[in-house]
Amino acid sequence: MATAVHMMSPLPELSRDVAEWVNSVRELTQPRAIHWCEGTEAEAHGLTDQLLRAGELTTLNPQYFPGCHLARSAPNDVARVEHLTYICTRSQQDAGPNNHWMEPQAAHTKMRELFRGCMRERTLYVIPYCMGPIDSPLSRCGVELTDSPYVVLNMLIMTRAGRAALERIVHDGTFVRGLHSTGELDPERRFIMHFPEELAIDSFGSGYGGNALLGKKCHALRIASWQARTEGWLAEHMLIVGLQNPKGETHYIACAFPSACGKTNLAMLIPPDSMPGWRVFTVGDDIAWLHPGKDGRLWAINPEAGYFGVVPGTNPQTNRNAYEMIRRDTLFTNVAATADNQPWWEGLQTGTPALDWQGRPYDPARGPAAHPNSRFTVAAKRNPGYSPHAEDARGVPITALVFGGRRREVAPLVYEARDWRHGVLVGASVASETTAAMVGQVGITRRDPMAMKPFCGYNFGDYWQHWLNVGAKLTHAPRIYHVNWFRRDAQGKFLWPGFGENLRVLSWMLDRCAGKADAVDSPIGRLPRSLDMAGLNVSAEALAALLSVDGPLWRKETSEIRAYLGQFGERLPQELLQELSRTEAGLAG
């Protein structure tokens, strides 16, 4: 039986390469119809109606949440699956000890068997998309083929998708090929495979964002990190934010934190009342593509066009902009619902849940009402603090890079790396407690270098060398910092209030970069001599604890870092060991 091609548009004729690939996937997966996505609002409305009719979406209370919908996923499909995520390079060494590896031919054979005939009775959607502003030389394109209209709706929000992207693909002559099917949502038949040497992704058996919206983690981080090394730039798990001081000067910083450690909150920070005149502008909340510019500075774009953020905890105090932003035109996944059909989540502070995230009458004995990794998908333009420069084709110049993790102890509130080389070691040594963003135990401390453990598409040893190489090209390299908003006291209480107050720490960094703030040397880097604490209810002892470097704990830490780095063997840049020896010598003295 012939496959119906929806839409009498010239899209397939635009790019022969894409059309040929779609044809080969059609033969393999046997869809009932093919839909080429145009990226129009009418298309998004049509898909929404279709999902509503099928009962896969519900409309949320339009009086309070106009244009908002709720999707409930399969209960076993709520997070990224790192144990089922593979990098398939010809040489296992190229994937490195930081990745699961499968030989590319074996992976292709496995995936072909899963995809064979999997779209019978389904429509194959073709989504041409551009990661980054459509006219930016720093952007890169891809095409996702999927049988999930929910994925299409998300991709239309998260990327610049449709006709303009396809035109750019024709112009570029290259694109990342991502094939996705939800399959039967069987965790036993679920794999997320990456073929960096072929610029290709195969994802089967999951509809969850990080596994299924292939433009995001799969393309913009795993495949792009590989592309970036070949082309001389960096693809990073970083937010980008502009900080405007009371004099009206704006500096941009890019910050890497592991999943669900507050990147979206920091990217949308509201200055505290004690810092009048400051303004904060969001460029991106999750991914940064960083390119060395001709001027020797590092320039950043956000490849995404929307936010796929963690919902629980969002309220007017923690993130007022996000709270406002997700009140209209937002797609919620796995939140709870009130009796009058408003979305509800832990930390919302108002209302009561009637239905839990699985649509069952809420029973606290069954755990939280909203899934801890429930998400909102919303267009970045809806953010009241969206930077007027977020769409600039050349990106924004970066003044400082910040690494951080979620650590009860060891890491102080903030410290500055000695220089770029030391900064690469600081990034490579990041450790953090695991969160609900991935399947597995929550709260286990693990090394998560540059917050890229789940996302680097190649051997970390080569990646750190690439970081050193990029730094060597920069005549005006950003300074590098490490922060930890999550330090606790002996009773387990957070020592630092976090959220808007984090701006105090960021403004110290900017003053350092402008040569205006003092620091005290320590073996691990430079710490603030003082921080502006006016109006803040943090005791002098708590501040001392936040800015202390505990010798015995740090000696243990550095020996763990040495052991961790050791697994990268010959691929580990010697410069990192030299920097580590310097830190160790300082701690011994």
Q: What residues are annotated to the active site? A: 261
Considering only residues 226 to 265 of the shown chain, the ones binding ligand OXD according to CB under 6 A are 259
Among ligand OXD, Mn ion, none, the one that 303 touches (CB under a kind-dependent 5 to 8 A) is none
Question: Out of 210, 215, 303, 412, which residue is the one contacting ligand OXD (CB under 6 A)?
Answer: 210
Among ligand OXD, Mn ion, none, the one that 146 touches (CB under a kind-dependent 5 to 8 A) is none
Return d(Cα 386, Cα 390) in angstroms, integer.
7
Q: Which is nearer to Mn ion, 178 or 183 (CB)?
A: 178
- Six-digit token string for 251: 């500096």
Least distance CB 192 / ligand OXD (angstroms):
13
Among ligand OXD, Mn ion, none, the one that 522 touches (CB under a kind-dependent 5 to 8 A) is none
Which residues fall within 8 angstroms of residue 45, CB to CB, at 6 or more apart?
none
Q: Give the bridge partners for 130, in sequence order.
A: 141, 160
Q: Which is nearer to Mn ion, 30 or 259 (CB)?
A: 259
- Six-digit token string for 348: 């919302």
Phi/psi for 75 (5° steps) reads: -60, -25
Question: What would you report as the CA-atom Rg of the chain, rounded to the nearest whole angstrom?
Answer: 23
Return d(Cα 365, Cα 355) in angstroms, integer.
13
Residue in the shown chain whose Cβ atom is closest to ligand OXD = 259
Question: Out of 77, 286, 304, 391, which residue is the one contacting ligand OXD (CB under 6 A)?
Answer: 286
Q: Which is nearer to Mn ion, 259 or 341 (CB)?
A: 259
In DSSP notation, 99-163 reads SEE--HHHHHHHHHHHHTTTTTTSEEEEEEEEES-TT-TT-EEEEEEES-HHHHHHHHHHSEESH
The vertex-67 CA angle with 269 and 157, nearest 5°, equals 60
511: exposed, middle or buried (C-beta count within 10 Å: 0-12, 13-18, 19+)? middle
Q: Where are the beta strands (DSSP E) in 186-261?
A: 191-195, 200-204, 234-236, 238-244, 250-256
Least distance CB 310 / ligand OXD (angstroms):
7
Which residues fall within 8 angstroms of residue 317, CB to CB, at 6 or more apart?
499
Contacts with Mn ion, residue ranges (CB under 5 A): 259, 286
Among ligand OXD, Mn ion, none, the one that 557 touches (CB under a kind-dependent 5 to 8 A) is none
Closest CA to 197 of 310, 103, 83, 76: 103
Least distance CB 523 / ligand OXD (angstroms):
31
Least distance CB 19 / ligand OXD (angstroms):
32
Q: Which is nearer to ligand OXD, 308 or 420 (CB)?
A: 308
Least distance CB 260 / ligand OXD (angstroms):
7
Angle, helix 420-428 to helix 574-588, in steps of 10 degrees: 90
Q: Which is nearer to ligand OXD, 286 or 501 (CB)?
A: 286
Least distance CB 259 / ligand OXD (angstroms):
3
Q: How far is CA 510 from the centre of its chain?
A: 24
Which residues fall within 8 angstroms of residue 154, CB to CB, at 6 or more apart?
209, 213, 308, 331, 377
Return d(Cα 279, Cα 232) in angstroms, integer.
33
Q: Which is nearer to ligand OXD, 196 or 306 (CB)?
A: 306
Residue in the shown chain whose Cβ atom is closest to Mn ion = 286
Least distance CB 482 / Mn ion (angstroms):
18
Residue located via tokens 């144990």: 83
Please report whether residue 308 would count as binding ligand OXD according to CB under 6 A. yes
Which residues fall within 8 angstroms of residue 157, CB to CB, at 6 or more apart?
305, 306, 331, 377, 378, 379
Least distance CB 43 / Mn ion (angstroms):
27
Considering only residues 467 to 496 of the shown chain, the ones binding ligand OXD according to CB under 6 A are none
Considering only residues 113 to 152 of the shown chain, the ones binding ligand OXD according to CB under 6 A are none
What is the total count of residues that contact ligand OXD (CB under 6 A)?
6
Among Mn ion, ligand OXD, none, the one that 80 touches (CB under a kind-dependent 5 to 8 A) is ligand OXD
Among Mn ion, ligand OXD, none, the one that 308 touches (CB under a kind-dependent 5 to 8 A) is ligand OXD
Q: Which is nearer to Mn ion, 202 or 286 (CB)?
A: 286
Among ligand OXD, Mn ion, none, the one that 333 touches (CB under a kind-dependent 5 to 8 A) is none
- Six-digit token string for 129: 């998309």
Q: Which is nearer to Mn ion, 259 or 265 (CB)?
A: 259
Residue located via tokens 């209302």: 351
Question: Out of 35, 69, 72, 80, which residue is the one contacting ligand OXD (CB under 6 A)?
Answer: 80
> Interface with ligand OXD by CB under 6 A: which residues?
80, 210, 259, 286, 308, 437
